[in-house]
Amino acid sequence: MNEHTAATCTMEKLEATFGGRWGIWLSDTGRWWAARRSALSSAELSAGCVPFLRADGPSQLAERIQSQEEMASQATGYGYIA
């Protein structure tokens, strides 16, 4: 498996882990990014949720997404925790 294929598989796995609520990509600079696929509510914004996340690697990105999922869950009362 080449590096591009491995990254694509990792992106798809992360997206599936979080129910497709995040779009994941690897930038040309080697940074991993995630973007929410839906708008944030005022409650989520007030709780500290952000629309985009950046990380140095996929495991760090997964941790940051998980943290955001927990914040959103507490702000809205919905259980999106992976």
Predicted confidence (pLDDT) per residue in 9-46, tens digit: 999 999 999 999 999 999 999 999 999 999 999 999 99
Distances (CA, A) of 62 to 1, 38, 66: 22, 18, 6
Residue 78's pLDDT is 66
* pLDDT (0 to 100) of residue 79: 58
Handedness of CA 10, 15, 79, 68 (dihedral sign): positive
Burial of 7 (0-12, 13-18, 19+ CB in 10 A): middle
Residues 48-73: pLDDT tens digits?
A: 999 999 999 999 999 999 999 999 99
21: burial class by Cβ within 10 Å (0-12, 13-18, 19+)?
Answer: middle
Cα distance between residue 32 and residue 54, in whole Å: 6
